[in-house]
Structure 1
């Protein structure tokens, strides 16, 4: 049969032979085992890559939202003189277009205690109006309210801190600051009891267990501030435009200030997260690579085992292209089906990641995702369409590339040599 009269590419008989070779008989069981391992390797590799990338994306998104929900996108601190003009400065900074909130605050450290427990906390003095505009706090109050916060001497604490102290809204807690009143005997600690006005829970253990909010005026008195504040937190509509706002805020301040943006304040944390994400992707890609190597070895063994069949097909008129396509379809089927199932498994697991975490925790009677270590109270997963598409395309490309050389070797097999000793 001449090349011109040959059957069209990917004819039904080519598909029939390819699928037949995937269903090994008894004597070809070892080849079938290799094909199954290759299939499982690609499926698990693709699924694991999708799951890990989604979890890492979820980590970054959740942490970014919570960190920037609690802390401003830019922090304005004084230069040359204290921020005694904080009211006027906050008004000027709020007037910059795109600034959502300019919140003056007093930062300090203290020891909080109850009759049951004590621990160190960060104390932040803020106005009730500013806390109300901070959705991460005001929208997540579990107990109590902000009513009368500025006028009273109440404090707001996180849910984990309240649980650790065994207190709730309406109970009392004592704050101890190392720098209190100055006496002839030296500086004495300041000890004061406050009523717990409200309890919040934002879902990030770092903040739910370590931050206390008190009225701005009360914090100035408690930390011996002479009518000034520590800094002004700036919240903007577009966090990614922080460079542009640095210039605008500096002009609007009309006094020497020092500005720190959110990327500088959290650079080490997010850089470490990005490095971990890239390394995990690289390591898990090796699973797919090992599976691809199995496809190559399996096809080579299949070609060697089917040498007689290939020779007979060639003498019956099958072209080299037809033989190559038969083995190409055989190897590619493993990669395509494995990648497709891996994608489905990855998506299903990502959609139910928190339920699976709870099930594994219940099954092993251990905390699989400790909030104290990972900052978040739940396991997040955010599938990125671009990254998932890249994983699928790379897995398919590697699978198809792995079939080319064995298929070419099968097509180049000499029928005379293959049948010489038959």
Structure 2
């Protein structure tokens, strides 16, 4: 009896065999409801974290962590800007690029595309395009050879393979004896890449930067410089610092701004799923209310005896808060264990379920991400646990208050 008697009595009520088995059933149902809700929340948020990680990795495998470009026109002194950017300890690598829009033509097939001129060796330092080549190598792009690398979807649309000739037209006019014509050049397909993002696989082509400069008649100028950072989540701060340090008028942009709408949509979806699945925990918490109300009704004589022995209303309230909180704590504990176990093994369990059912949940013919990724974050587990425990505690307040209002004389009148 070294522990406070409120805690002792609350635990005793929890362990005691109840005469009313219906109350025991509702208590068990409340524990299971909280456990299932917590498990579902942890698992779903982990899967959504996994999808966000995969999408971020694939997008930033082609896009840059940050870019420095001219406010208007091109950057004539890009080596100096690259050197100044590399002086920042947060910057890991830099690479120049030339970017524009164009149209590819093969026989009667036409397709609009985004054109990017790169230095192959430097580009491999800031992007993962080299590791996603299906056919050929990025280093096959040589200055003056006018070779081109296509995305897999674009190559399939045009029906081209390595070695085919394609005409690249850009929206820049050339004055010829025949009149004003769009500028074009014939390129040889040197490679095909597949990133796993339709935006890039369908709409991006790469050529050597010198060929792009010649095509756009930019001389030694470039569109901008791409940066790779040691910590991609530091990109906004690094972009602000570089914008303040660089002498001249430049446009500095980081990946959180260039893809703001996409990642904001993912964050909004995670928040909505969290709110919806939290309702499962909320419903289970309401079951605790009904359980304790019936327990209070069943234990009115016990409450009256405790009051006559000197127990205060606050002590009676604490006894039933302890009893209700035990339900929430046990349910949360089972939910956390189940959710963590499921989140850590979802990438193993899903293929097993697919093999047992003979049905593939994410067909690679339809979805670019055909696996179900999962990334368990301790912050999510802590947040969900705190929510569950808080709802469990709040659900005990009204029944405990009702118990503290029981009058001994009224409760013992017919005993």
TM range, smaller chain: 0.7 to 0.9
Matched, 1:192 2:186: yes
* Offset at residue 126 of structure 1 (A): 0.1
Q: Say if 2:169 and 2:182, in contact at 8 Å, map to a contact too.
A: no
Could you tell me how far apart the structure 2 residues matched to 1:308 and 1:387 are? Answer: 44
The residue that corresponds to 2:385 in the other structure is 392
Which residue is equivalent to 2:284?
A: 291
> Partners in 1 of 2:132 and 2:141 — Cα distance?
16
- Find 1:18's aligned residue among 10, 14, 17: 14
Q: Aligned pair 1:217/2:210, yes or no?
A: yes
Runs of 5+ consecutive residues of structure 2 not aligned to the other structure: none
Matches within 5 A, 1:274-285: 274-285=267-278
Alpha-carbon shift at residue 304 of structure 1 (Å): 1.8
Provide, for residues 250-290 of structure 1, a one-character-per-residue CA deviation record: whole Å limited to 9, x for no partner.
655x5543322333322233333333333332333232222
The structure-2 alpha-carbon separation of the partners of 1:358 and 1:109, relative to structure 1 and needing over 3 Å to count, comes to: farther
Q: Report the TM-score when normalising by structure 2.
A: 0.79
SS at the partner of 2:75? coil
Partner of 1:150: 142
Contact 1:14/1:322 (8 A) holds in 2 = no
Q: Distance in 2 between matches of 1:264 and 1:6?
A: 56
Q: Tell me the residue number matched to 1:110.
A: 102
Q: Name the CA distance, whole Å, in 2 between partners of 1:247 and 1:333.
A: 52
2:62 maps to what in 1?
A: 70
State the Cα distance separating 1:127 from its structure 2 match.
0.5
For 1:170-219, what per-residue CA distance to the aligned partner results, in whole angstroms no more than 9, with x for missing partners? 3436254253654334324636342233x444444433443222111222
Counterpart of 2:331 in 1: which secondary structure? helix
Q: Is the 8 A contact 1:121 1:211 kept in 2?
A: yes
Give the distance between the partners of 2:248 and 2:4, measured in 1 at CA: 83
How far has the Cα of 1:295 moved from its partner?
A: 0.7
Q: CA deviation at 1:125?
A: 0.9
* Aligned-partner SS, 1:139: helix
Alpha-carbon RMSD: 4.0
1:16-415 equivalent positions in 2, closer than 5 A: 16-21=12-17, 28-29=21-22, 31-79=23-71, 82-112=74-104, 119-151=111-143, 152-162=145-155, 170-172=162-164, 174-179=166-171, 181-183=174-176, 184-188=178-182, 190=184, 192-197=186-191, 199-239=192-232, 240=234, 242-248=236-242, 251-252=245-246, 254-307=247-300, 314=306, 327-355=320-348, 363=357, 365=359, 368=362, 376=369, 378-410=371-403, 412-414=405-407
1:88 and 1:353, CA in 2 relative to 1: closer, same or farther beyond 3 A?
same
> Size of the alignment, in residue pairs?
409
Inter-CA distance 163–82: structure 2 relative to 1 (3 Å threshold): closer
The TM-score with structure 1 as length reference comes to 0.78
* Contact 2:10–2:323 under 8 Å retained in 1: no
- Cα distance between partner residues in 1 of 2:344 and 2:278: 22
With over 3 angstroms needed to count, the CA separation of the structure-2 counterparts of 1:79 and 1:307, relative to structure 1, is closer
Query: Is 2:317–2:400's contact at 8 Å kept on the other side of the alignment?
Result: yes
C-alpha contact (below 8 Å) 2:164/2:189 kept by paired residues: yes
1:232 positional shift: 2.0
**Aligned 8 A contact 2:40 2:339 in 1:** yes
